[in-house]
Amino acid sequence: MKAGWKLDDALSIPTDFATVRQGRIYQITREKTGQVYVGLTHSSVEQRWAFHQSAALRGASTKLAIAIRSNGPEGFNLEILEDNIDNPEELKKREVYWVERKGALGPLGLNSAQPGGIGSSRGVSFEWEGEHFESIVEAARVLGRRLALAPHVVERRIREGKPLRGQARRNSKHSDAGTNLFRRWLALKKRYSLEIDACWLDYDTFKADVEPGFKSESRLMRLDRAKPWGPTNWRWGSAQEAVEAVHGTKVVVKGKTYPSLHAVARHFDIGYSTLKNRIQSQGLTLDQAVEKPIGKTSFRKSNGGHVVEGQSFRSKRQALLYIAEKYGITEGQAKYRFEQGRFSSE
């Protein structure tokens, strides 16, 4: 109702209506030059970063993609500028604000397109049986789950103007044909035809091995890339881990090998920027860097951030900048009021 819906519509629209997802503004910083990229997303910033890396690997020509190919994923820092933004229009406005504030669009930035456009966060809107979706991809995800169809089948039918209801066409008589896991098995056989254990050429054997712990967003990874895919040479990982496994630079910490410095930061629950600073600026070894206690003002030490008037910030400085901007005071004055627990302008 706060969004302007009629009461009957608010009660009848399914709860998986995807446009209610919260959005966030994030920043990617190129360590070598200090250049920044500012974007908005309804997914997690880690998923969005994985998308940028994937686009770079596919040869995208944007400033950010070129920079990623030049420095590698480990040459960038990722942070959230604003989180939990419910209103899509407000999300676009905040992107415009942060792009201008950070100078992300121009010779010293990595943004290539004007911020705040519909295409930057969603896509072509779509309506089905009176229900509105902000993009075809969003409709495919929601309706696919509701109609028991694979999202790619729903998306294809929408784009081809075909009815959405009905059974998906199957190229196999197997009862799992068309499912996410079955399509992954087909793709694995096609891409690694000479690097897959003979027993995994049978779908049911493959399924029995990998189905436990399977999630649609997970990525299948090989433990040892020198050996074929098979029952003892695989694991589920995140999109970020999959990219690091192929393109990351391996490092050894406390006798254990990690696929990248990002993986080290995640394992020891240390911010990636903090870890890099300890190594490059403070001159600590990797072992010393992970052993050093986290400062009391850090995001992790503060139990998830600093809260000001119901809003959570990843760092104390972000909270101070918010107070200073909102009340028209200096950052020093904001710091004093923050530490005194006062956030009013009097």
Residues in the chain where the model's pLDDT stays below 50: 3, 13-20, 118-122, 344-346
Residue 110: per-residue pLDDT = 95
260-266 long-range contacts, CB within 8 A, separation 24+: 260/73, 260/74, 261/74, 262/73, 262/74, 264/290
Q: Which domains are present in the chain?
A: 18-114 (3.40.1440.10), 126-160 (no CATH), 180-235 (no CATH), 249-291 (no CATH), 296-346 (no CATH)
Residues 140, 152 contacting (CB under 8 angstroms):
yes
Element (H, E) at 36: strand 36-41
- The values of phi and psi at residue 134, to 5°, are -75, -15
What is the predicted pLDDT for the residue at 204? 94
Is there a contact between 24 and 45 (Cβ–Cβ < 8 Å)? yes
Q: What is the pLDDT of residue 232?
A: 95
End-to-end CA distance of the chain: 34
Cα separation, 181 vs 14, in Å, equals 26
The whole-angstrom distance between residue 264's C-alpha and the CA centroid of its chain comes to 19
Task: Encode pLDDT of 198-215 as tens digits.
Answer: 999 999 999 999 999 888
Q: Are 74 and 240 within 8 A, CB to CB?
A: no
Tens of pLDDT, residue by residue over 76-125, are 999 999 998 877 788 889 999 999 999 999 888 999 888 876 444 445 67
What's the pLDDT at 343? 64
Work out the number of other CB atoms within 10 angstroms of the CB of residue 315. 18
pTM of this structure: 0.36
Instruction: Please tell me the predicted confidence (pLDDT) of residue 122.
Output: 47
The answer to whether 38 touches 27, Cβ cutoff 8 Å, is yes
Residue 24: φ, ψ to 5°? -150, 155
